[in-house]
Structure 1
Amino acid sequence: MSGDVEWVDEEAGPVVRPYAVTGGRTRSSSATFDLLSMAVATGTPISAGAHLGFQHRRLLHLVRRARPIVEIASDSGLPIGVIKVLLGDLLDHGLILVRSPIPAASAPPESLLRELISGLRAL
């Protein structure tokens, strides 16, 4: 797909198949992304050797502030698989940072919960 040309049909919407947007790739060349991972643009200028299409540049615009990957997919209107491949390209070029979601805190020990309940009953 060439630089800034978006292939659309006024009535039908996008007419470019997702595999054409990703160059036929179904997986990112970088690490896999969790749907709740946060992506944000680094602000690094795009190098002359980076062959990024319209959708890459559009995603860079969407991640000016940190956003979850699932939200990026929703706002872009592209399938999540396509988003992962395109974000992988941007990550490879150093144009974005991706952070894994913070794991949920582990449950407190049962003894602590029992002490809390006892303390509340004593009030």
Structure 2
Amino acid sequence: MTSLGTEHDHWFDDAAGRLIRPYTVSNGRTEPTLRMELLSMVIATGRRPPGQLGPEHAQALGLCGTVTTVAEVAARLRLPAVVAKILLSDLVDWGVVDTRAPDPIADSSNPAVLETILNALQRRL
């Protein structure tokens, strides 16, 4: 097993991947409460979460310490984008994360932007 840098390292294995299924992470939900694009920007507000966060919510919040994209959070958590969006929408609903629409310059239909995202994701994985 490899280290993700958290106390929950035992839930990830290089060969098998995540040992907890994505639908478990999202409590069976398949839709976020907030519409977000892969290039939407997210950042922590600095507010305290209401109660104890689960491990995946805590990891997602930790990744939002600086402005980052939904795609980056999904890649770093090694979760499908829709599951990351569900986690992030929970954090937005609790007031601990803010989100912004993607920068108009970051048009997701632009091949140069897509290539940049692909290269960044490949470097992370």
What's the counterpart of residue 17 of structure 1? 21
Deviation at 1:13, TM superposition (A): 3.7
Query: How many correspondences in the alignment?
Result: 98
Stretch deviating more after TM superposition (62-71 or 6-15): 6-15
**Secondary structure, aligned partner of 1:57:** helix
Question: Match of 2:26, as an amino acid?
Answer: T
Distance 1:45 1:8, change over 3 A: same
**Secondary structure, aligned partner of 1:16:** coil
Question: Which structure 2 residues correspond to residues 1-123 of structure 1 after superposition, within 5 A?
Answer: 8=11, 10=13, 12-29=16-33, 31-48=34-51, 52-104=53-105
Deviation at 1:5, TM superposition (A): 5.4
The alignment's C-alpha RMSD in Å is 1.9
Distance 1:68 1:15, change over 3 A: same
Gaps of 5+ in 1: 105-123
- Give the TM-score normalised by structure 1: 0.71
Identity of aligned residues (%): 37
- Give the TM-score normalised by structure 2: 0.70
Distance 1:32 1:58, change over 3 A: same
Bigger RCO (CA 8 Å, 6+ sep): 1
In the aligned structure 1, how far is the partner of 2:76 from the partner of 2:46? 21
Distance 1:32 1:13, change over 3 A: same
Q: Which has the larger radius of gyration?
A: 1
In the aligned structure 2, how far is the partner of 1:93 from the partner of 1:37? 18
Deviation at 1:15, TM superposition (A): 1.4
Gaps of 5+ in 2: 1-6, 106-125
Question: Match of 2:42, as an amino acid?
Answer: A
**Secondary structure, aligned partner of 1:65:** coil
